[in-house]
Amino acid sequence: MAIDLSAADAAISATKKGLEASGFSVVCAGRDDILTVSVLAGPDACAECLVPKAVLESIIGSELAAAGVEVGSVEIVYPADLADAG
């Protein structure tokens, strides 16, 4: 199943706006049926403002379901994950 990235992006727009208000940007990517949501920290990002990954995954899953966007699973990538990989 291919993920409709524009529909997924629109479905999570409220969460994206909330994260952007805390200094983060959000990038969605799809591979097979996995939606990867990368949360990128800006220079003034509030690291303490991030909820646990499981909570964000649940919020995004609910937003996707409410909008009728089908995905097999949601993977959350936080700034610390990117720092560990680099």
Residue 69: CATH number of its domain: 3.30.300
Number of domains in the chain: 1
Q: Taken in order 64, 69, 72, 75, is the CA torsion positive or negative?
A: negative
pTM: 0.90
Print the domain residue range for 53: 5-85
| Mean of all residue pLDDT scores within the chain | 92
Question: Could you tell me the two tokens for 78?
Answer: 């936080």
pLDDT in tens, the chain (86 residues): 689 999 999 999 999 999 999 999 999 999 989 999 999 999 999 888 899 999 999 999 999 999 999 999 999 999 888 766 65
Question: Nearest CA to 76 among 49, 48, 54, 43?
Answer: 54
Summarised one tens digit per residue, pLDDT across range 47-64 is 888 999 999 999 999 999
